[in-house]
C-alpha cells in the first residue's frame, strides 16, 4: 500500500450524478486486484479531513490507467467532481482483500445494484481473461446509469438488466431477475456468486443465496476513516458474532456469514 499523486487523464460525467475518472499509475495498474479500493483525498486541503473509499472500477494495464466510477452523494464527492484533467489525485492503495478468484468455479453470477456496478467491470474483465463464464445481473434506478454492456455481451457475457424506471431491461429490482436464474441454477456446483451494492440489496440476495449450494462473495460498503484497520470505525458483524473491519478484513466477505439487521 502506498500514497501516490496520480495525474488525472480524463474526468467525465456519465449522468448528472455519476462520474468516471481515469488516472495514470504504472504501479497501481500492476498491483490492483478486483474488489480492492483506493482511499482518495479529494483535494489537497484540511477539509475534508478524511479520504473517501472508492472501488477500483477498471484497470487497463497496457495503458497504465486506473478508472474510478463514483456517484456524487455529499461534500467529498461533490468536490471531487470539480477536478480537471491534468490535475493530480492523491490516492492511498490498493486497499482491502479483493474477491477470491482462486476458489474453484467455472461460471460467475455477478449481482450488482446501483454503484455496486463500479467494482464489477474490473471483476468481469479479469474473469473473462481467466476463461470463466459470466452472468451479470445489474440493477439501477435510472436506466441512464447502464453503460458498457454491449462490450461485455460481445465478449460472451450473459447480461441481464433491471431498472426501476423501466427504461432498460426488466422494470424492477435485481432480485426479479435473480429469482428465475436461481430457480434453474441453485444446485449448480460450477457456480460462484458475487454481489456488490447497497446493504438492503445484499440482505435480499443473502436470503436467496441461503437456498443455493454454491458459495457467494459480497463486497460491503461502510463509512471509513483510516481505511487500514487502525481506527476500528468500519466494523461489520458476522452471524457468529465476530466483528470484522470492512477496510482491512474486507471489503469482500462470505455473503452467507454476514449479519444483517433486516
In the complex, which residues of this chain contact ligand FES (CB under 6 A)? Answer: 224-227, 229-234, 245, 247-248
The minimum distance between CB 152 and ligand FAD, in angstroms, equals 18
For 99, list phi and psi in degrees, rounded to 5: -75, 150
Does the footprint of ligand FAD cover residue 81 (CB under 6 A)? Answer: no
The minimum distance between CB 53 and ligand FAD, in angstroms, equals 4
* Binders in 144-163 for ligand FAD, by CB under 6 A: none
- Enter the C-alpha cell of residue 58: 477498471
- Enter the C-alpha cell of residue 172: 424492477
Out of 15, 17, 24, 77, point to the residue binding ligand FAD (CB under 6 A): 77
Does the footprint of ligand FAD cover residue 74 (CB under 6 A)? Answer: yes
Neighbours of 231 (CB within 10 A): 13
Segment contacting ligand FAD (CB under 6 A): 2-10, 69-77, 156-164, 169-177? 69-77
Does the footprint of ligand FAD cover residue 73 (CB under 6 A)? Answer: yes
Cα(142)–Cα(29) distance, integer angstroms:
31
- Cβ atoms 93, 17 nearer than 8 A: no
The minimum distance between CB 66 and ligand FES, in angstroms, equals 21
Q: Which does 227 bind (CB under 5 to 8 A by kind): ligand FAD, ligand FES, none?
A: ligand FES
- Calculate ∠ Cα 118-195-206, nearest 5°: 150
Q: Which does 63 bind (CB under 5 to 8 A by kind): ligand FES, ligand FAD, none?
A: none
The minimum distance between CB 203 and ligand FES, in angstroms, equals 21
* Segment (H or E) for 198: none
- Enter the C-alpha cell of residue 7: 495525474
H-helix segments, the chain = 26-31, 75-80, 120-129, 149-154, 174-185, 199-209
Nearest to 218 by CA among 250, 253, 262: 253
Residue with cell 468481469: 124
Neighbours of 238 (CB within 10 A): 14
Out of 223, 237, 239, 242, point to the residue binding ligand FAD (CB under 6 A): 223
Select 3 or 231, whichever has its Cβ closest to ligand FES: 231
| Size of interface with ligand FAD, in residues (CB under 6 A) | 21
String of contacts with ligand FAD for each residue 24-63, x by CB under 6 A? -------------x--------------xxxx--------
Select 130 or 243, whichever has its Cβ closest to ligand FES: 243
Does the footprint of ligand FAD cover residue 248 (CB under 6 A)? Answer: no
Cα(90)–Cα(25) distance, integer angstroms:
11
- Cβ atoms 247, 223 nearer than 8 A: no
**Contact set with ligand FAD (CB under 6 A):** 37, 52-55, 69-71, 73-77, 115, 118, 221-224, 246, 251
Amino acid at each position: 500500500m502506498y500514497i501516490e499523486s496520480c495525474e488525472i487523464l480524463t474526468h467525465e460525467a456519465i449522468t448528472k450524478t455519476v462520474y468516471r475518472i481515469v488516472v495514470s499509475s504504472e504501479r497501481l495498474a500492476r498491483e490492483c486486484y478486483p474488489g480492492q479500493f483506493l482511499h482518495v483525498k479529494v483535494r489537497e486541503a484540511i477539509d475534508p479531513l478524511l479520504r473517501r473509499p472508492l472501488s477500483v472500477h477498471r484497470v487497463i494495464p497496457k495503458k497504465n490507467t486506473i478508472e474510478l466510477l463514483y456517484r456524487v452523494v455529499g461534500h467529498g464527492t461533490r468536490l471531487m467532481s470539480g477536478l480537471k484533467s491534468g490535475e493530480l489525485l492523491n490516492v492511498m492503495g490498493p486497499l482491502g482483500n479483493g474477491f477470491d478468484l482462486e476458489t474453484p468455479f467455472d461460471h460467475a453470477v455477478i449481482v450488482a445494484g446501483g454503484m455496486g456496478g463500479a467494482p464489477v467491470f474490473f471483476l468481469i474483465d479479469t474473469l473473462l481473461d481467466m476463461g470463466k463464464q459470466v452472468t451479470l445481473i445489474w440493477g439501477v434506478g435510472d436506466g441512464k446509469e447502464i453503460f458498457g454492456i454491449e462490450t461485455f455481451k460481445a465478449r460472451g457475457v450473459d447480461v441481464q438488466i433491471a431498472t426501476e424506471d423501466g427504461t432498460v431491461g426488466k422494470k424492477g429490482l435485481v432480485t426479479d431477475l435473480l429469482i428465475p436464474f436461481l430457480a434453474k441454477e441453485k444446485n449448480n456446483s460450477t457456480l460462484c456468486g458475487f454481489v456488490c451494492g447497497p446493504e438492503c440489496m445484499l440482505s435480499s440476495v443473502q436470503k436467496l443465496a441461503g437456498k443455493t449450494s454454491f458459495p457467494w462473495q459480497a463486497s460491503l460498503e461502510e463509512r471509513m476513516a483510516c481505511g487500514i484497520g487502525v481506527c476500528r470505525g468500519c466494523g461489520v458483524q458476522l452471524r457468529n458474532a465476530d466483528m470484522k473491519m470492512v477496510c482491512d478484513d474486507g471489503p469482500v466477505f462470505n455473503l452467507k456469514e454476514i449479519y444483517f439487521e433486516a
